[in-house]
Amino acid sequence: MKIKYNIKLISAIMLCAVLTILSSCDDFVDFQDVILITGTEENNVLRFAVEEAPATFSITASSTARVTQDVNVNFNVDPDMVPIYNEENNANYEFVPEGSYEISSNSSQILSGTAVSDPVTVTITSTENFVEGRNYIIPVTISGQGRMKVLEASRTVYLRVSRVIDFNAVDISNPDFYDTYQFSEPITGITEFTYEIRCKIDEWHSGQPPISRLSNWGPVDESLPNLLRFGEAGSDVNQLQWVSAEGATFSETRFATDTWYTISCVYDGSDYRLYVNGSLDSRFSGSGQQYVLAALELGMSYGGYEYSQRFLGSVAEIRFWNRALSLNEIQAGLCAVDPSAEGLLAYWKLNEGEGNVFYDNTGNGRDMDWSNEVVWNTDDNQCAQ
């Protein structure tokens, strides 16, 4: 069978195909030749460590290929990006206080034959108006000039200001400290919560079983417990167990001595999640249990068990929220939190350094006048916020 070809039609189709390819290639080149903020390819939140002011952070722009002519790049600090970031990431950052920062320049260049611009620097000039517990970020955005496009996902870098915070703590190695504080006005009908405590283990005791009881909260009769302890039920001596009224979990983390950990226990009404230093460690399921905060126990206060279940270490930063914190909120508050934060019902920093009263920093009046012996840990304890 003979097939007749329409030469004109074939020529038209081939021409369209060539034009389409050329057009696509041009788009492809534009897509590849982009600029971005250096270091934001995987994460656009970068840690800006500030031990003391002034402190500086250098930012550069990069091209995905060496440029053939000078490319101007504009850099701008953009406070309006903070609420947008918070909404998209369920976070609670604030822009740094007015007058506390400066940027060295609002422009730089990627010189011909190179792929990285000269740096601009952001400087924290003062931390005088910073509030402990509040989390600060500085968004810096770039824009290009000419044919070069900006990679949208890396147009903005968020400089998370990380400060080193010194703190005191309470040494609970002495069994004469162990007690349960009963609140005059219990909190009832708790359908979700976040309970946090910071701890450091000095050493593991050698009892049999080698249990170290850290804390417990709930009603006075402990019928609805939320208990934290190490070395229970055949687990490793440095393995944490969280026991609630609906179940329990053992940590995947094996805790080290002489190291500070922030433990976060989160319940959202159906799911229990254990976080260690801001990382999800383990979880278990529930079915809508309601809780009561009427008493808080530190250490093992049961008669006859104080020595066999001693916790040989220190504690600080105990917080109770009536909501389930997000991962971003937990990570932002590893060192301290804002006492006025939403849903924070009680906040004992245990940072007083003297006396027997642990003050509730929220102002809600849940101060604890600890009747037993208090030994303060005033060593050089530090946390990088």
pLDDT in tens, 35-66: 999 999 999 999 999 988 999 999 999 999 99
Written as six digits, the tokens of 119 are 């740096």
pLDDT for 302 beyond 90 = no
Q: What is the pLDDT of residue 308?
A: 81
Whether 66 and 100 map to the same domain: the answer is: yes
Look at 19 and 233; give whichever has higher pLDDT. 233
Q: What is the domain range of residue 74?
A: 35-164
Whether 190 and 105 map to the same domain: the answer is: no
pLDDT for 1 beyond 50 = no
Q: What is the pLDDT of residue 32?
A: 62
pLDDT for 12 beyond 80 = no
pLDDT by residue (tens digit) across 238-261? Answer: 999 999 999 999 999 999 999 999
Whether 191 and 62 map to the same domain: the answer is: no
Pairing outcome for strands 107-110 and 71-77: antiparallel
Percent of the chain at pLDDT exceeding 70 = 91
pLDDT by residue (tens digit) across 307-333? Answer: 888 999 999 999 999 999 999 899 989
Identify the CATH number of the domain in which residue 130 sits.
2.60.40.1740
Q: What is the pLDDT of residue 9?
A: 40
Phi-psi region of 227 (alpha: psi -120 to 50; beta: other; left: phi over 0): beta
Q: Choose the weakest-confidence range: 112-116, 118-122, 305-309.
A: 305-309
Whether 191 and 155 map to the same domain: the answer is: no
pLDDT by residue (tens digit) across 198-216? Answer: 999 999 977 788 899 999 9
Q: What is the pLDDT of residue 51?
A: 84
Please say which residue of 136, 164, 192 terminates a domain.
Answer: 164
Q: pTM (2 decimals)?
A: 0.79
Please say which residue of 164, 195, 215 terminates a domain.
Answer: 164
Identify the CATH number of the domain in which residue 337 sits.
2.60.120.200
pLDDT for 2 beyond 60 = no
Please say which residue of 130, 145, 164 terminates a domain.
Answer: 164
